[in-house]
């Protein structure tokens, strides 16, 4: 992905705040509109039997052998965004959707997407040594000996030519630089060497830029995803010493998508912003390298021994530098023809009404072959689409139109999905009821999901219906069990919504294609997949061989993911009353507000929270009444026009939580309850406008954000009152 990313395995302090703030959302056990026992949430009793029969037919379709064949094709060659190979994959997906009965087309978008011309790194002192060496092929896997693989690179790195001493900065986050300052290590003008982990790589570039480093080198330490964790490929699933984590360093926490056309797709290859003024572009060069190359630099650093917790997994004592190691780094990007075409695939299964849409998506571009990221999600989404298409060929027509999308350019910064969402903003606001995202669909056996709190029970309900291939019980039961152990979806672990009876659900920050739907347009969204021991993220080793030997050898979890995605989409498309749980949402907001007050008090912030508390209380009361109305409608039924008004009001609650002018300093991000943190990267911050203003001790800004939050909650309350018929 960048999507649900391994960079969020361990949250920073701002992300940990999310986990605490969301604890109260779990107090609702199985709340939300539902029918009598044995029914289905959101369905009137008279329609349950029909829905059960549809679900039985749908679950019979996903097939491990079919998913395996698709993944083998999808990973048959590298298919980087902006290339002919990516276009070929898009055409394949378009044709597949057509064969399933979808009206499917390619939506092409122009984006500013420079590619590397020269990527060089050399240690110049104490001896000369060429670094930034390519990943080493393994004999057992012919795909790793492919000259078409893009070298280790950072998408949207600034160009630069730098020669300077090297300083080790641990994970390269603000606290790390503060620690270096405390022990007297100066970083200005140096080349910072940081390891991946704990935040998005673009955040690390920003922090290095803020501390006036000349450049940044990133590497994957074996303590994090290499031999310290387990056997590397080809013996095990972890990253070998020569493995490189490619990735974008676009500042998507400011805004994703084309950096030169913020807020709208580029028109006729013309940008609205000059490169020099682009708010989301880094200003210093950066480059990813392997642990093998990083070892050559780290082992030659002098200076103090690293602080506690900074020692990685290589067999020598780490020092901060500077010291003997001096490096020359050169990054040259294509300045002659940087505008390239992306190919989004949009397939529609027309409903009885086209006034409401259920949208599901996955991206198809990959850094190299991308078996897990994104191929496993693509193959699983194809199985879901094939299942829905099979129902349609048998005569079924969905209540709501189902839109299945495969996005391009996700890896560079959510380019394709953002362009399409911005291009269809008016229509999506009017029609889209939900967005279902599957990115890295399968990397192992541990299911997890993230989403707006109103959809947590929807995911849990779907997991209850699907058999877990390993245990023979339901996916839900396996999910419950794994919450007591390490594992599950890595990026969901810090930000959880726990209940006594339910497994963990994460909240949405950023890093995958739900971002423009949820954070920019306020469309209720969720994200899900199966995780596991996955150490080859964004490397050329993430290929069919890896999946066949380590991730899902029999492709049974791909089929299970297809069932869960298909079932979730089907239920949202067919529900009489959309099964949103706003009582859980209101509880989450209430607890977050309490934690915010406590944080403000600790910091001595001169803020008044009486109005905010009243707004939260109003939302809670309205949510309770709306829930009763929804439950009554789903049990007793309602006239078509009344149900349509109820469903529209329920959908628009999320939209009401957007701030028209966006968050302070980040106008593209408009969601007042959840947003990626400026320094947490993908991980979410709850009540982000106020929280980040507090962290910056910007009291005037915090006051403005409190007022904006109060207004958003009041708008949401009015929508809930509409749903309740008040």
Q: What is the largest CA-CA distance in the chain?
A: 80
Residue 468 lies in a domain: yes
Asked if pLDDT for residue 111 goes beyond 80, the answer is yes
Residue 38: Cβ within 10 Å count? 8
Check pLDDT > 80 for residue 6. Answer: no
Q: Does 237 score more than 90 pLDDT?
A: yes
Predicted pLDDT of residue 503: 85
Domain that holds residue 516: 61-112+339-573
Encode pLDDT of 16-67 as tens digits: 233 323 333 333 344 555 444 578 999 999 999 999 999 999 999 999 999 9
Domain end (from 510, 539, 573): 573
How far is Cα 546 from Cα 587, in angstroms, rounded to an integer?
A: 42
**Does 184 share its domain with 324?**
yes
d(CA 525, CA 668): 17
* 256 and 323, same domain (yes or no): yes
Whether residue 93 is contained in a domain is answered as: yes
Average pLDDT score over residue span 488-507: 52
217: CATH? 3.50.30.30
Do 195 and 236 fall within a single domain?
Answer: yes
Contact call for residues 503 and 489 (beta carbons, < 8 A): no
Active-site residue, selected from the candidate residues 51, 135, 410, 705: 410
Domain boundary among 573, 592, 608: 573
Q: What does pLDDT average to over the chain?
A: 92
Cα 109 to Cα 37, 95, 258, 422: the distances in Å are 48, 19, 10, 11
- Is residue 407 situated within a structural domain? yes
Regarding whether 124 and 75 lie in a shared domain, the answer is no
Chosen domain end from 573, 588, 610: 573
Tell me, rounded to whole angstroms, the distance of Cα 400 from its chain centroid. Answer: 26
**Where does the pLDDT of residue 502 fall: very low under 50, low under 70, confident under 90, or very high at 90 and above?**
confident
CA 96 – CA 71 distance, rounded (Å): 13
Residue 265's pLDDT is: 81
Residue 267 pLDDT > 80, yes or no? no
Q: Are residues 271 and 320 in the same domain?
A: yes
pLDDT value of residue 639: 85
Q: Are residues 508 and 464 part of one domain?
A: yes
Give the pLDDT of residue 58: 98
Question: In whole angstroms, what is the distance from residue 621 CA to residue 508 CA?
Answer: 25
Same domain, 106 and 122: no
Asked if residue 392 belongs to a domain, the reply is yes
Of 9-13, 342-346, 686-690, least confident by mean pLDDT is 9-13
Inside any domain, residue 698 = no
Checking if the pLDDT of 351 tops 80, the result is yes
β-sheet bridge partners, residue 506: 450, 496
Mean pLDDT of 127-139: 97
pLDDT at 335: 79
**DSSP string of 111-122, one letter each residue:** EE---EEEEEEE
Active site residue 125: no
**Phi, psi of 521, deg, nearest 5:** -110, -10
CATH classification at residue 454:
3.40.630.10
Cis peptide before 374 (omega within 30 of 0): yes
pLDDT category, 552, cuts 50, 70, 90?
A: very high
Residues 568, 497: one domain?
yes
Residues 158 and 269 in one domain: yes
* Residue 390 CB burial class (10 angstroms; 0-12, 13-18, ≥19): middle
Torsion of CA 360, 363, 369, 371, to 10 degrees: -30
* pLDDT score recorded for residue 8: 35
User: 396 and 294: one domain?
Assistant: no
139 shares a domain with 87: no
């Amino acid at each position: 992905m960048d999507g649900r990313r391994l960079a969020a395995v361990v949250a920073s302090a701002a992300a940990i705040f999310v986990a605490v703030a969301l604890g109260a959302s779990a107090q609702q056990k199985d709340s939300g509109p539902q029918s009598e026992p044995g029914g289905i949430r959101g369905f009137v009793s008279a329609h349950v039997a029909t829905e059960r029969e549809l679900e039985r037919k749908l679950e019979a379709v996903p097939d491990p052998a079919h998913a395996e064949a698709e993944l083998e094709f999808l990973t048959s060659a590298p298919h980087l965004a902006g290339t002919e190979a990516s276009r070929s994959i898009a055409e394949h997906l378009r044709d597949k959707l057509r064969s399933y009965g979808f009206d499917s087309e390619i939506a092409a978008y122009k984006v500013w997407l420079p590619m590397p011309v020269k990527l060089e790194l050399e240690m110049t002192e104490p001896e000369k040594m060429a670094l930034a060496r390519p990943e080493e092929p393994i004999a057992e896997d012919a795909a790793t000996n492919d000259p078409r693989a893009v070298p280790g690179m950072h998408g949207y790195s600034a160009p630069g030519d730098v020669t300077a001493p090297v300083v080790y900065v641990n994970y390269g986050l603000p606290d790390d630089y503060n620690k270096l300052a405390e022990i007297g290590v100066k970083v200005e003008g140096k080349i910072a060497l940081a390891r991946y982990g704990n935040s998005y790589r673009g955040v690390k570039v920003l922090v290095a830029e803020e501390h006036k480093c000349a450049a940044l080198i990133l590497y994957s330490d074996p303590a994090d995803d290499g031999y310290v964790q387990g056997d590397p490929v080809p013996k095990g699933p972890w990253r070998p010493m020569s493995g490189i984590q490619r990735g974008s360093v676009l500042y998507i926490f400011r805004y994703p998508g084309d950096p030169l056309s913020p807020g709208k797709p580029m028109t006729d290859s013309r940008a609205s912003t000059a490169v020099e003024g682009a708010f989301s572009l880094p200003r210093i060069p950066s480059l990813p390298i392997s642990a093998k190359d990083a070892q050559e630099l780290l082992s030659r650093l002098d200076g103090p021994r690293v602080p506690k917790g900074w020692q990685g997994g290589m067999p020598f004592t780490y020092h901060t530098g500077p010291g003997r190691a001096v490096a020359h780094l050169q990054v040259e990007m294509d300045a002659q023809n940087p505008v390239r075409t992306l190919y989004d695939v949009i397939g529609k299964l027309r409903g009885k009404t086209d006034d409401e849409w259920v949208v599901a998506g996955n991206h198809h571009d990959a850094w190299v072959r991308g078996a897990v990221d994104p191929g496993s999600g693509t193959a699983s989404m194809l199985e879901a689409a094939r299942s829905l298409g099979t129902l349609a060929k048998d005569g079924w027509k969905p209540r709501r139109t189902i839109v299945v999308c495969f996005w391009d350019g996700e890896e560079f910064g959510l380019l394709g999905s953002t362009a399409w969402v911005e291009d269809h903003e008016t229509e999506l606001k009017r029609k889209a009821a939900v967005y279902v995202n599957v990115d890295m669909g399968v990397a192992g056996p541990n299911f997890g999901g993230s989403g707006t709190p109103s959809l947590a029970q929807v995911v849990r309900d779907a997991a209850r219906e699907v058999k877990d291939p390993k245990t023979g019980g339901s996916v839900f039961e396996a999910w419950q069990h794994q919450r007591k152990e390490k594992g599950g979806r890595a990026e969901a672990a810090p930000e959880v919504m726990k209940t006594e009876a339910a497994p963990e659900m994460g909240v949405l920050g950023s890093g995958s294609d739900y971002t423009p739907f949820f954070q920019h347009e306020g469309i209720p969204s969720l994200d899900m997949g199966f995780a596991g021991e996955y150490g080859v993220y964004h490397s050329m080793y993430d290929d069919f061989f890896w999946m066949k030997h380590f991730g899902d050898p029999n492709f049974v979890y791909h089929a299970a993911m297809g069932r869960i995605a298909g079932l979730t989409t089907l239920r949202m498309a067919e529900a009489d009353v959309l099964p949103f749980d706003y009582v859980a949402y209101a509880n989450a907001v209430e607890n977050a507000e309490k934690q915010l007050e406590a944080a403000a008090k600790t910091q001595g912030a001169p803020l008044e929270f009486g109005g905010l508390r009243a707004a939260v209380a109003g939302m809670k009361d309205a949510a309770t009444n709306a829930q009763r109305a929804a439950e009554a409608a789903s049990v007793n039924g309602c006239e078509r026009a009344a149900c349509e008004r109820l469903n529209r009001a329920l959908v628009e609650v999320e939209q009401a939580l957007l701030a028209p002018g966006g968050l302070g300093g980040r106008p593209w991000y408009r969601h007042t309850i959840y947003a990626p943190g400026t320094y947490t990267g993908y991980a979410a911050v709850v009540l982000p406008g106020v929280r980040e203003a507090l962290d910056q001790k910007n009291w005037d800004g915090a006051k403005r954000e409190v007022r904006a939050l109060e207004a958003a909650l009041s708008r949401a309350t009015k929508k809930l009152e509409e749903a309740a018929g008040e």
